[in-house]
């Protein structure tokens, strides 16, 4: 721990006086040493610490850099230390004169950063690269590397769309460049592009993570780099004695926020309370009425109340039924590393076990890694890196929405009473449909006798979620392996050849077992098995040349790589097994031919690449690179794309005229420009594909095979690479001996030749085709701040903060003005030229109609020709939304829709503060996302509007009791689909205390007595504090639908019945010996 | 050392440049391309089978744009906020939006199949692939029959139509305008069906039943002529109908329960059936959805063995009253039934497509009969009514009535009386078989009154069904008279189809 220079200085001043006062004293008849301390520019250094090693003797240099010290004997070692400078040790000179020149310690600047195909000194970087070292990242209780990165890097947006155990977040580097092809960044693990690298790596193995953000840094990965590149470097062995490290943590997790639902009892009470209010309301009393009864309770609702009162043992808390309390989270990791100068090794094993908030949500992962590097001779070095991995994920069969929709009167299983009522068997699962057409009598809520006959209490044909969950099992087993071998040959001084060859494969087995009637009454039991195997073969051959002479530094690279990806998918579905215990393919009685499919495909990529870095005097930096990629995804003549890049930097702080400013430790200006590509489209998009299309013929109806082109995609042989051109401007600033580091980047990227899945005219017989058309622009700024606020002997405080803001604009979409995409409820996502690529498009409302006069007036509206106003959508009704007529014509129809919001945040930020006090350390990350609009799909469901308190509180009751004038009365708006209006647009902004870690490292003397090197215990929490926007009505502002319609890059921002956020507490221990 | 480097560099280059083009050319293993695929008799046959499957795909939705829009059926859950039901109400009440995704999907299925037909046709025309003359004629006839039939439906549902007779690419499609209805008849429908009638065989072996025959082509051809109207066309139609009536092996099914037996899942392709779209129940994925979608809503598995009954396409009260006016009519039970859901609630449903042995949701056995002998008989009566022979129009009519257990009527005293009787009989005999819509279109011609179809629909909707289905309850959107106009007999061209063409302005049908 370094001491604060200033405080030290004050303390030492007393020491100087003391030393001056006693220096002539004969007691100290020792060797006197004196001299001057300067920096390399011959400027005197003030306040340098001078100590004698192994003693308490010490002094500091004065204002002229002069010092004087007495050492006990000739063997003494004198240590010169000064913050921001390299510590120097000197032995006692015979002359007694010792002048010292101290060199600036450039540790924080001389850091080495991993870049595409190599490493680079951070000081020489000219592109936008964010680097994150693994310092305690592995203590964050998450099961995937990507989740640990949330909020840590400017420009890297990690959106935890699904809090399910083991589920993947959505990752974007600098916004959304492509609108049809995938925007996922390329993940490269130890030089090996791996599609799901972020899930297979164990956090404990990670040395550092680098994000290549601008095009010039990423261009060397040319082809697939348009979505940015994330480089993961794993730890390696060091020449040392064997070092053992054991880490474990374990803890529990619970839901942070749950939906607040009305029970049947509460709901009935609400209806009667509202009836009383209406009675007091003269406007309602005036209009009497079949259509406007005081009490809007319906027969089914009365029946529900009676069932609860007379038949149920107790109300069912469905939300609670879906959740697991105190889910566990645990991780164990053992690593051993060591070696000598010729042979180094690193071996690790890790287990992570996670239980989700929802029942039946679990994730277990076992990861192993063995890394060996051997120096065979002066010329050759060889190494292997092997990492097998197994994970097992169980997924719940039902979403929380389904629990939220179920009313509390419905029991999970029939008891004797409900069985008698419905004619079902006691003990069987109770389904809504069982309560159709029942007759029931009793004393009602109002103490009147209620007689109801032939009531269908709740018309839903859905099965109760517990019965679905308990009768369905969904498992995914992933077997992964990454293996890589390299050979490096130092052919000539400075010339190195490296060949690296590897394989990555994933074998995934997905099983879905459904018992009889699990999902729908009468469904046969079934087993769905999907087998996926994915292989990547990669060969990279790189020639590297380094040459430094005078003040010139050259670093050149030339290489070619070949990659082959194989994807095999087999699915088989069997039904009608003999019983529920035997769901195995030897015993099915029917195979579902429709679902039994197979898909084999390969993809190849060949690349030639080169790079030249040049620096003059370490101040003027230039870099140029190119990559040419050939891809099998494109048709003859369109396979190749070239991706050049250029960048330059000027380390202004190295110039003489700035050197004199001592407070300025680093100033660098950077500019870069480059092209990256994207070929993330389905294979064979260049041709019309033939599919099976069977038919039945004959008197007994035999299946006959047919083969025609029924694929939605129309082949387009002309498609080729999508290209993103990006320029990046950056400033790096280091102040006060690099105690304050500041980086700001501005970028402007244009994606051209956009791989756009365009709608085809259907008269072609197809729906879409891939085309290189359209443009998207992203521009934004990123700020990273890294400060050492306080350091002294016992206490340090460091802050790392980042801020980023991106603006997305659709510049061209195939010559059209806009394109609409729809979600699961028909809500429209419009891509409009000149605006963000995704915007919600629907009706604007202005509260609800609160009075009858208002409704009457609206219905009697006439245009200037005396024609009545037409409501083709959203008929006016009290308690229903008031949809605005935006275009001023005489009807409310689709022409009145407008932009309601977009899913892009205005800005995001993260701030990590780390404190250490003596042996304690505390760090926490606060992370925020602001200005995100989301569509809350819950309003589509009547049950939500009725039972969810966020929709019943303050709702419209009558003209005198209009609630807040904004909340609709649930039952009055059938068909007036709220999902298409701004009623469901909510603010998805949040600020979260994302990670929090408090640790204690055992003092050295205790550790030594235990015969270990280091021991640390810590407590860690995730989402300890979480603040959501006030108008947000859901429970998890980060959740998004990502499957089905939401798979398209142009459909985003919709949530419905999301899983709750996790709040996790863990305790851990970390031992090195 | 230098030599070593050159050697390495050279060998790297060699590996790279020789291997690369090959390496980058991917030979798909599980994916077949359409170009040059139909080059053997087996593959050509598979292509044709695929086109029949395409027909089966279209047929699944056809009721929504024909029967539902007619006065035969309605969407009876008037208060439901279910998207499908709202969509169906909109279609039913002629306020369909041109952006309705379902409509676009229906449209797509037609052109998907037309594109597939056009992909196989050239290989059939070329005698190098199929050497057997008869087989080649049959294949060509089948494809032309399907294309002619699709276009017949397209022009009657959507009006002026895009003329597509070969496989086209994305840019070619943008250069094709809508051609007038008459041009489509003259260039595609009539010639395709005529050629098909010449080339197709009269019968097939038992294992091939379901393929289009000469008689199927003649039947649709007759309908096309009748839709065109005018004495010349009626003459041509009459000839085709007479061919079927006298030369074909088809006849009315007779005996006890004959009417119900026509539709039985255990009596498929019986002698009354001239052409049907074939479906196979169970797990093969080529079953029919009709029973699952028409079975009464809320009845659970009381009638429908597996899956959810959806209660779509529910009979109108006006039609049920017509049936019930004559309780002796043996067709009633085979056409519709009423489920007494509770003492106060009755749910009517179509019973023509019951599959008692359905084993997988939405995968029924029922075929959809496109053309049957009784239809031909009644078409013949329709022509007799119009070509001066109205006095004998009752003869074919009464053959159909007799089988239904009804007494004979006629002879008629005027053309109008004869026409009234024929259309009334067609409505009952062919109820829920998607014929009513086309009958309504022909009525405009037969009575020489383009407003007549909508007058009928307006009357039936607002006078009879209004009370029972809409006025008493709180429907989401009740029917509105202003949409019942003759322009709306045509469906709109899907908006997206117009939007995705940035080269030509595709005109929309009037009133949309």
- Computed from CA positions of residues A354, A355, A357, A359, in that sequence, does the dihedral angle turn out positive or negative? positive
Residue in A599, A814, A975 nearest the CB of B81: A975
Q: Which tokens hold the place of A46?
A: 């003030």
Given a contact cutoff of 8 angstroms between Cβ atoms, the answer to whether A104 and A593 are in contact is no
Please tell me the total number of residues recorded for chain A in this structure. Answer: 1073
pLDDT of residue B15: 55
- pLDDT over 90 (residue B386): yes
Which residues are CB-contacts of A923 (< 8 A; sequence separation ≥ 6)? A136, A912, A913, A914, A915, A995, A996, A997
Q: Which tokens hold the place of A884?
A: 């605005």
- pLDDT over 70 (residue B200): yes
Alpha-carbon gap, residue B175 to B181, rounded angstroms: 18
pLDDT of residue A10: 44
What residue in A sits closest to B207 (Cα-Cα)? A698
Given a contact cutoff of 8 angstroms between Cβ atoms, the answer to whether A601 and B30 are in contact is yes
pLDDT along chain A (1073 residues), means of 10: 45 46 46 85 80 82 85 84 78 85 63 79 81 78 77 79 77 74 81 80 85 81 77 82 88 89 91 87 64 75 90 89 88 89 90 89 92 89 92 89 89 90 89 87 89 84 89 93 91 88 92 86 86 91 86 88 90 86 78 80 88 88 90 86 90 84 87 86 84 90 90 86 87 87 91 82 91 87 90 88 91 84 89 92 90 83 76 78 84 86 92 90 91 90 86 86 85 67 92 90 84 87 89 90 84 86 88 85
Residue in B48, B56, B345 nearest the CB of A454: B345
Cα-flanking dihedrals φ and ψ of residue A805, to 5°? -145, 130
Q: From the candidates A706, A823, A977, which should be mutated to test the interface with B, based on the most B CB atoms within 10 A?
A: A706
Cα-flanking dihedrals φ and ψ of residue A764, to 5°? -75, -10
- The sheet with strand A713-714 has its strands ordered as A713-714, A768-772, A755-759
Facing residues of A1063 across strands? A254
Q: Are B34 and A715 in contact (CB < 8 Å)?
A: yes
* Contacts with A599 from chain B: Cβ below 8 Å: 30-31
Compute the half-sphere exposure of residue A515: CA atoms within 13 Å on the CB side of its CA: 12
pLDDT tens track for B348-378: 999 999 999 998 889 999 999 999 999 999 9
What residue in B sits closest to A941 (Cα-Cα)? B81
* Contacts with B26 from chain A: Cβ below 8 Å: 601-604, 632, 683
Q: In which band, very low, low, confident or very high, does the pLDDT at B4 lie, cut at 50, 70 and 90?
A: low
* Contacts with A698 from chain B: Cβ below 8 Å: 206-210
Secondary structure element (H or E) that encloses residue A379, with its range = none
* Contacts with B116 from chain A: Cβ below 8 Å: 708-710, 765
Q: Are B49 and A695 in contact (CB < 8 Å)?
A: yes
Alpha-carbon gap, residue B90 to B82, rounded angstroms: 12
* Contacts with A718 from chain B: Cβ below 8 Å: none
Q: From the candidates A569, A697, A891, A973, which should be mutated to test the interface with B, based on the most B CB atoms within 10 A?
A: A697
Count CB neighbours of B273 within 10 A: 22
Q: Are A491 and B477 in contact (CB < 8 Å)?
A: no
Q: How close, in Å, is residue B35 to chain A by CA atoms? A: 8
Q: Are A710 and B54 in contact (CB < 8 Å)?
A: yes
pLDDT of residue B112: 96
Q: Are A707 and B53 in contact (CB < 8 Å)?
A: no
Alpha-carbon gap, residue B444 to B440, rounded angstroms: 7
Q: Are B283 and A684 in contact (CB < 8 Å)?
A: no
Residue in B52, B209, B361 nearest the CB of A706: B52
Q: Are A706 and B51 in contact (CB < 8 Å)?
A: yes
pLDDT of residue B313: 95
Q: Is the ipTM of this complex over 0.95?
A: no
* Contacts with A869 from chain B: Cβ below 8 Å: none
End-to-end CA distance of chain A: 21
* Dihedral (Cα; A54, A60, A65, A69), 10-degree rounding: -60
* Contacts with A859 from chain B: Cβ below 8 Å: none
Residue in A683, A693, A815 nearest the CB of B53: A693
Alpha-carbon gap, residue A280 to A272, rounded angstroms: 13
Q: Are B279 and A696 in contact (CB < 8 Å)?
A: yes
Q: How close, in Å, is residue B250 to chain A by CA atoms? A: 15
Q: Are B282 and A590 in contact (CB < 8 Å)?
A: yes
Residue in A703, A815, A825 nearest the CB of B286: A703
* Contacts with B112 from chain A: Cβ below 8 Å: 710, 762, 765-766
pLDDT of residue B14: 53
Residue with token string 């387009």: A716
Residue in B1, B37, B167 nearest the CB of A491: B1
Secondary structure element (H or E) that encloses residue A461, with its range = none
Q: How close, in Å, is residue A142 to chain B by CA atoms? A: 39
What residue in A sits closest to B110 (Cα-Cα)? A765
Q: Are B12 and A541 in contact (CB < 8 Å)?
A: yes
The top-scoring range by mean pLDDT among A819-828, B448-457, B500-509 is B448-457
Q: Which tokens hold the place of A91?
A: 């032995």
Total-model pTM: 0.76
Q: How close, in Å, is residue A1057 to chain B by CA atoms? A: 19
Alpha-carbon gap, residue A946 to A950, rounded angstroms: 10
Q: Are A702 and B206 in contact (CB < 8 Å)?
A: no
* Dihedral (Cα; A160, A164, A165, A170), 10-degree rounding: -30
Q: From the candidates B5, B15, B31, which should be mutated to test the interface with A, based on the most A CB atoms within 10 A?
A: B31
Residue with token string 């082809």: A223
Residue with token string 């043996």: B330
Q: Are A454 and B173 in contact (CB < 8 Å)?
A: no
């Amino acid at each position: 721990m370094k001491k604060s220079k200033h405080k030290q200085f004050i303390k030492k001043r007393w020491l100087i006086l003391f030393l001056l006062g006693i220096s002539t004293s004969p007691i100290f008849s020792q060797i006197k040493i004196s001299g001057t301390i300067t920096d390399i520019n011959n400027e005197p250094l003030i306040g340098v610490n001078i100590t004698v090693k192994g003693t308490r003797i010490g002094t500091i240099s004065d204002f002229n850099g002069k010092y004087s010290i007495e050492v006990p004997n000739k063997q003494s070692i004198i240590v010169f230390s000064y913050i921001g400078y390299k510590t120097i040790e000197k032995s006692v000179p015979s002359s007694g004169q010792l002048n010292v020149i101290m060199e600036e310690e450039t540790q924080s600047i001389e850091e080495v950063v991993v870049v595409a195909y190599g490493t680079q000194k951070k000081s020489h970087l000219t592109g936008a690269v964010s680097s994150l070292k693994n310092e305690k990242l592995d203590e964050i209780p998450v099961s995937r590397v990507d989740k640990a990165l949330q909020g840590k890097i400017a420009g890297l947006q990690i959106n935890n769309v699904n809090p399910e155990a083991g589920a993947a977040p959505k990752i974007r580097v600098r916004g959304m460049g492509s609108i049809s092809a995938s925007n996922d960044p390329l993940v490269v693990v130890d030089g090996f592009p791996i599609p799901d690298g972020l899930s297979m790596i164990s956090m404990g193995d990670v040395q550092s993570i680098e994000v290549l953000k601008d095009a010039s840094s990423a261009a060397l990965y040319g082809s697939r780099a348009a979505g940015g590149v994330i480089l993961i470097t794993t730890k390696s062995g060091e020449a040392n004695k064997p070092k053992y490290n054991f880490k474990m943590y374990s803890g529990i997790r619970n839901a942070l926020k749950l939906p607040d639902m009305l029970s049947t009892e509460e709901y009935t009470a609400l209806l009667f309370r509202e009836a009383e209010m209406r009675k007091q309301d003269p406007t309602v009393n005036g209009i009497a009425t079949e259509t406007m009864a005081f009490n809007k309770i319906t027969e089914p609702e009365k029946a529900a109340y009676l069932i609860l009162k007379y038949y149920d043992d107790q109300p069912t808390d469905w939300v609670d039924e879906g959740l697991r309390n105190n889910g566990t989270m645990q991780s164990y990791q053992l690593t051993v590393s060591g070696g000598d100068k010729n042979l180094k090794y690193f071996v690790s094993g890790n287990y992570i076990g996670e239980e989700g908030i929802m029942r039946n949500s679990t994730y277990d992962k076992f990861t192993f890694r063995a890394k060996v590097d051997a120096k065979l001779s002066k010329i050759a070095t060889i190494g292997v890196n092997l990492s097998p991995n197994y994970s097992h994920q169980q997924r719940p069969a039902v979403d929380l929405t389904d629990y939220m929709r179920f009313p509390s009167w419905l029991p999970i299983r029939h008891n004797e009473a409900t069985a008698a009522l419905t004619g079902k068997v006691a003990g069987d699962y109770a389904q809504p449909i069982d309560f159709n057409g029942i007759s029931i009598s009793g004393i009602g809520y109002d103490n009147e006798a209620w007689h109801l006959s032939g009531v269908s209490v709740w018309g839903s044909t859905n099965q109760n979620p517990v019965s679905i969950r308990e009768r369905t099992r969904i498992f995914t087993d992933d077997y992964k392996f990454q293996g890589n071998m390299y050979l490096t040959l130092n052919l000539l001084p400075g010339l190195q050849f490296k060949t690296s060859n590897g394989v990555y494969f994933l074998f995934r087995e997905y099983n879905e077992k459904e018992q009889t009637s699990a999902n729908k009454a009468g469904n046969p039991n079934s087993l769905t098995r999907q087998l996926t195997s994915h292989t990547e073969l990669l060969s990279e051959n790189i020639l590297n040349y380094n040459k430094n002479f005078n003040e010139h530094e050259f670093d050149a690279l030339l290489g070619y790589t070949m990659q082959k990806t194989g994807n095999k998918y087999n699915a088989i579905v069997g039904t009608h097994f003999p019983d529920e215990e035997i769901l195995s393919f030897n015993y099915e009685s029917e195979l579902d031919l429709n679902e039994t499919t197979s898909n084999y495909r390969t993809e190849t990529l060949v690349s030639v690449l080169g790079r030249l870095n040049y620096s003059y005097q370490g101040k003027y930096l230039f870099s140029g690179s190119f990559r040419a990629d050939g891809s099998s995804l494109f048709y003859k003549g369109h396979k190749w794309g070239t991706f050049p890049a250029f960048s330059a930097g000027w380390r202004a702080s190295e110039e003489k005229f700035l050197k004199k400013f001592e407070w300025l430790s680093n100033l660098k200006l950077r500019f870069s420009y480059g092209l990256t590509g994207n070929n993330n489209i389905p294979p064979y998009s260049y041709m019309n594909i033939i599919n099976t299309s069977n038919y039945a013929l004959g008197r007994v109806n035999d299946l006959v095979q047919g083969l025609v082109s029924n694929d939605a995609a129309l082949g387009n042989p002309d498609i080729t690479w999508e290209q993103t051109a990006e320029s990046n401007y950056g400033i790096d600033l280091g102040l006060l001996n690099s105690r304050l580091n500041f980086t700001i980047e501005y970028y402007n990227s244009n994606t051209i030749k956009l791989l756009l899945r365009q709608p085809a005219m259907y008269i072609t017989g197809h729906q879409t085709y891939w085309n290189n058309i359209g443009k998207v622009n992203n521009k934004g700024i990123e700020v990273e701040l890294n400060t050492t606020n306080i350091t002294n002997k016992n206490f340090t405080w460091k802050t790392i903060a980042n801020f980023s803001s991106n603006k997305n604009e659709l510049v061209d979409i195939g010559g059209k003005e806009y394109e609409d995409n729809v979600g699961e409820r028909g809500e429209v996502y419009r891509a409009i030229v000149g605006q963000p690529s995704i915007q919600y498009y629907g009706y604007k409302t202005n509260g609800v109609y609160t009075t009858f006069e208002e409704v009457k007036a609206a219905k009697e509206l006439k245009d200037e020709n005396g024609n009545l106003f037409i409501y083709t959508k959203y008929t006016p009704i009290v308690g229903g939304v008031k949809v605005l007529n935006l275009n001023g014509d005489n009807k409310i129809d689709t022409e009145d829709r407008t932009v309601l919001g977009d899913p892009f945040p205005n800005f995001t930020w993260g701030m990590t503060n780390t404190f250490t006090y003596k042996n304690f350390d505390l760090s926490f990350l606060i992370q925020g996302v602001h200005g995100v609009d989301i569509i809350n799909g819950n309003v589509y469901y009547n049950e939500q509007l009725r039972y969810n308190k966020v929709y019943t509180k303050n709702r419209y009751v009558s003209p005198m009791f209009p609630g807040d004038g904004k909340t609709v009365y649930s039952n009055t708006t059938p068909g007036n689909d709220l999902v298409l209006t701004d009623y469901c647009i909510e603010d998805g902004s949040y600020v979260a205390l994302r990670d929090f870690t408090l640790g204690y490292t055992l003092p050295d003397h205790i550790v030594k007595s235990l015969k270990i090197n280091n021991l640390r215990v810590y407590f860690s929490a995730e989402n300890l504090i979480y603040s959501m926007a006030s108008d947000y009505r859901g429970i998890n502002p980060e959740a998004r639908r990502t499957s089905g319609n939401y798979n398209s890059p142009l459909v985003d921002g919709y949530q419905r019945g999301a899983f709750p956020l996790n709040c996790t507490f863990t305790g851990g221990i970390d031992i090195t010996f | 050392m230098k030599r070593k480097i050159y050697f390495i560099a050279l060998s790297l280059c060699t590996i790279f440049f020789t291997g690369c083009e090959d390496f980058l050319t991917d030979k798909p293993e599980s994916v077949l391309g359409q170009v040059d695929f139909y080059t053997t008799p087996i593959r050509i046959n598979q292509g044709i089978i695929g086109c029949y499957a395409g027909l089966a795909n279209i047929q699944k939705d056809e009721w929504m744009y024909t029967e539902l829009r007619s006065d035969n059926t309605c969407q009876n859950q008037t208060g439901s906020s279910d998207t499908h039901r709202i969509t169906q109400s909109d279609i039913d009440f002629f306020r369909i939006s041109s952006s309705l995704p379902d409509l676009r999907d229906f449209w797509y299925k037609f052109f998907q199949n037309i594109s597939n037909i056009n992909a196989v046709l050239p290989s059939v025309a070329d005698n190098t692939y199929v050497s057997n003359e008869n087989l080649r004629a049959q294949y060509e006839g089948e494809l032309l029959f399907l294309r002619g039939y699709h276009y017949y439906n397209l022009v009657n549902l959507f009006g002026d139509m895009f003329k597509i007779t070969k496989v086209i690419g994305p840019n070619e499609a943008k250069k094709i305008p809508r051609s007038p209805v008459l041009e489509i008849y003259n260039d595609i429908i009539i010639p395709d069906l005529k050629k098909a009638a010449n080339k197709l065989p009269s019968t097939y072996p038992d294992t091939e039943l379901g393929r289009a025959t000469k008689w199927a082509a003649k039947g649709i051809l007759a309908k096309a002529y009748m839709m065109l109207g005018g004495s010349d066309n009626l003459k041509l139609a009459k000839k085709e109908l007479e061919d079927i009536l006298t030369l074909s092996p088809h006849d009315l099914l007779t005996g006890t329960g004959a009417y119900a037996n026509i539709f039985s899942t255990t009596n498929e392709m019986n002698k009354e059936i001239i052409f049907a779209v074939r479906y196979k129940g169970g797990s093969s994925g080529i079953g029919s959805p009709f029973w699952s979608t028409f079975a009464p809503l809320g009845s659970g598995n009381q009638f429908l063995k597996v899956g959810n009954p959806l209660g779509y396409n529910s009979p109108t009260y006006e039609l049920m009253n017509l049936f019930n006016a004559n309780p002796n009519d043996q067709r009633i039970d085979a056409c519709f039934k009423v489920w007494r859901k509770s003492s106060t609630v009755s749910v009517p449903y179509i019973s023509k497509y019951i599959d008692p042995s359905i084993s997988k949701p939405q995968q029924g056995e029922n075929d959809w009969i496109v053309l049957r002998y009784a239809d031909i008989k009644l078409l013949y009566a329709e022509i007799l009514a119009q070509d001066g022979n109205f006095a004998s129009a009752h003869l074919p009519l009464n053959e159909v009535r007799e089988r239904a257990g009804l007494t004979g009527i006629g002879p008629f005293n005027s053309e109008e009386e004869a026409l009234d009787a024929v259309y009334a009989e067609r409505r009952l005999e062919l109820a829920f078989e998607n014929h009513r819509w086309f009958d309504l279109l022909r009525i405009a011609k037969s009575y020489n009154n383009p407003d007549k179809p909508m007058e009928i629909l307006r009357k039936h909707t607002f006078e009879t069904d209004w009370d029972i289905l809409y006025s008493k309850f709180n429907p989401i959107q009740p029917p509105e008279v202003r949409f019942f106009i003759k322009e709306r007999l045509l469906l709109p061209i899907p908006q997206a189809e117009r939007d995705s063409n940035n080269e030509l302005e595709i005109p929309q049908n009037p009133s949309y």
